[in-house]
Amino acid sequence: MKICMHNWMRPEPIENTIDRMKRLGYDGIQIMGEPRKYDWKHVRGLLDKNNLQCFGSVSIMVKGRDLIHADPYYREMTIAYLKECLDMVHALGGNIFTLVPSEVGKIVAMADAETEWGWAVEGIKQVADHASKLGIRIGLEPLNRFETNFLNRHDQALRLAADVGGDVGVCLDAFHINIEEADPYQAILTTARAGKLVDFHVADNNRFPPGQGNLDWAKLISTLKEGGYNNQLTVEFVVPLDRSPLAAKMEDAGTTATEAELKFIRDHGSDLMSDAEYSRHVEASIKHLRASGAN
């Protein structure tokens, strides 16, 4: 299995991200779905020079990006945004894209369930059409109930993928399935055996790096393999912010983020981390996954 990592959790120059990944033995990146933040040619050159792959990207669903928004202008803008993410993935040589359909943190519906479902199907169809022209496979990602009210479990995501049609699949995230699934292992098996598992995001039950919570990583990895999934694992720890007296002294983050980036990270219960702390987590993640059978 290959191991890659999202980069939205620490806004920093892409050169730093790529250097760190190379140094710590990663196979590649899943680049943040912010196409206008990057010079695609430059990033592709850096990846090639370091012999790293761009596997794909994930949509960054900040306020207003929402395929099930009641205002059609927001839905249209979101479709345009998602298509641009796909263009970036294509330019970087990737072939998967994790799509979160609704705004992260929006947990109150704007319409009845049938109407929302229809908007999602209609919007994802347009995005999937663009993806298939570029040879990119979409994985719909269910999130836990505190991040979205729309798609929370693998069976819902499989149904949405089926209603959209084509080769649209599902992306599962160890953190989210541990909260929402009656049996996270069965959720993996069912999705993988249906040939629908496009990507698997990894963080522990507390969203620390794998190995720093109570999930059984050897079992998770063997379950993925048992289901026939041998593609990449995508590290996505989101370390919680500790504002209690128990917190270790915060090192200076040494990085800047746009207001939107910072809000997105804080909406996930985290904050900016120093290079040293972040690097420790990046290193711990790959070490634990390799030691748990990801090879």
Q: Which residues bind Mn ion (CB under 5 A)?
A: 173, 201, 236
Binds ligand LER (CB under 6 A): choice among 236, 239, 261, 292? 236
Give the pair of three-digit tokens for residue 56.
């794909």
Q: Which is nearer to ligand LER, 46 or 139 (CB)?
A: 139
Rounded Cα–Cα distance for residues 50 and 18 (Å): 8
Closest-by-Cβ residue to ligand LER is 104
Q: What does the per-residue mask of binding to ligand LER show for 160-199, with x meaning CB under 6 A?
A: -------------x--------------------------
Determine if 273 is a binding residue for ligand LER (CB under 6 A): no
Cβ at position 268, least distance to ligand LER in Å? 6
Q: Which is nearer to Mn ion, 20 or 268 (CB)?
A: 268
Q: What does the per-residue mask of binding to ligand LER show for 76-115, with x meaning CB under 6 A?
A: ----------------------x-x---x-----------
Rounded Cα–Cα distance for residues 163 and 17 (Å): 37
Q: Which is nearer to Mn ion, 238 or 262 (CB)?
A: 238
When CB distances are held under 5 to 8 angstroms depending on the partner's kind, the choice from ligand LER, Mn ion, none that residue 34 binds is none
Binds ligand LER (CB under 6 A): choice among 143, 157, 158, 289? 143
Number of Cβ within a 10 Å radius of residue 32: 23
Determine if 147 is a binding residue for ligand LER (CB under 6 A): yes
Contact region for ligand LER (CB under 6 A) — 45-53, 123-131, 141-149, 223-231? 141-149
Binds ligand LER (CB under 6 A): choice among 12, 66, 141, 261? 141
Q: Which is nearer to Mn ion, 130 or 201 (CB)?
A: 201
Cβ at position 238, least distance to ligand LER in Å? 7
Binds ligand LER (CB under 6 A): choice among 3, 18, 31, 58? 58
DSSP letter string, the chain: --EEEE-TTS---HHHHHHHHHHTT--EEEEEE-GGGS-HHHHHHHHHHTT-EEEEEEE---TT--TT-SSHHHHHHHHHHHHHHHHHHHHTT--EEEE--S-TTB-S-SS-HHHHHHHHHHHHHHHHHHHHHHT-EEEE----TTTBSS--SHHHHHHHHHHH-TT-EEEEEHHHHHHH-S-HHHHHHHHHHTT-EEEEEE--TTSSSTTSSS--HHHHHHHHHHTT--S-EEE---PPP--STTSPPPPP------HHHHHHHHHTT-----HHHHHHHHHHHHHHHHHTT--
Binding site for ligand LER (CB under 6 A): 58, 98, 100, 104, 141, 143, 147, 173, 201, 236, 268
